[in-house]
Amino acid sequence: MSTTISGDASSLPLPTASCVEIKSTSSSTKGNTCSKILDIALAIVGALVVVAGVLALVLCASNVIFTAIGIAALIIGSACVGAGISRLMCRSSYASLEAKNVLAEQRLRNLSEEKDALVSVSFINKIFLRGLTDDLQALEAKAIEVEIDCLDRLEKNEQALLSDVRLVLSSYTRWLDSAEKEKAALKASIDANQAS
């Protein structure tokens, strides 16, 4: 089973807990139960061997062979009882440590999955930012083109306006010159009439 994060034309899978891990946990639990049963059996067998050794010492104290067998049985039985009981006592601590280890592994697995998710999101963000950067560069290039075009049009309009102004001024100057000449001619004509 997996979770996916969708990006630009890509899906990035994120692994989750699998059935294999659940089966391994179940197998570990069964193994712990079997080991506990074997430890109890070892303690019981050791106790029976101790009882047999005591009986051998009590009933056959005059026989050296049975006395030696009884002492050996006491030693072996005591060792078995001690081993079984110590294993049973240590098993709870071992189970607690194992549970903590399982929790630590689960946390590490979760952290790994979160890291994978963050890496996937970071990758998607990089793609998104790259697209935004490309769009921004295209917009900047378009803005520069528009600005250049506007400046060219403005310069052409200014030149046309200046040309029109020059034409108007030239026409106005010619009209003034013509008016001055007509005024001078009219004045000369008036002066001539007055003189005659």
Report the C-alpha gap between 176 and 39 in whole angstroms: 131
Q: Within a 10 A sphere around the Cβ of 70, how many other Cβ atoms?
A: 22
29 has pLDDT over 90? no
Question: Which distant-in-sequence residues (6+ apart) come within 8 Å of 45 by Cβ?
Answer: 77, 80
Mean pLDDT, to the nearest integer, of 56-63? 78
Whether residue 87 is contained in a domain is answered as yes
14 has pLDDT over 50? no
Domain that holds residue 85: 2-116
Whether residue 148 is contained in a domain is answered as yes
Q: 36-56 as b/e, with b when 16 or more CB fall inside 10 Å?
A: eeebeebbeebbebbebbeeb
Report how many domains make up the chain: 2
Q: Which of 3-7, 24-28, 96-100 has the highest mean pLDDT?
A: 96-100
Residues 36 and 89 in one domain: yes
Quickly state the pLDDT bin for 31 (edges 50, 70, 90): low
Quickly state the pLDDT bin for 7 (edges 50, 70, 90): very low
Instruction: State the pairing for strand pair 10-15/2-7.
Output: antiparallel
Residues 142 and 109 in one domain: no
Residues 21 and 80 in one domain: yes
Kindly report, residue by residue over 82-93, the tens digit of the pLDDT.
888 888 888 777
- How many contiguous H segments (helices) and E segments (strands) does the chain have? 2, 2
80 touches 122 (CB < 8 A): no
Residues 27 and 90 in one domain: yes
The reported pLDDT for the residue numbered 140 is 94
Instruction: Provide the token pair at 148.
Output: 């250049």
* Closest to 10 in 3D by CA, of 132, 123, 133: 123
Residues 77 and 157 in one domain: no
122 has pLDDT over 60? yes
Report the C-alpha gap between 166 and 169 in whole angstroms: 5
The reported pLDDT for the residue numbered 96 is 82
Whether residue 173 is contained in a domain is answered as yes
Residues 87 and 152 in one domain: no
Residues 91 and 147 in one domain: no
Using a pLDDT cut of 90, give the percent of the chain over it: 33
12 has pLDDT over 70? no
Kindly report, residue by residue over 181-193, the tens digit of the pLDDT.
888 888 888 877 7
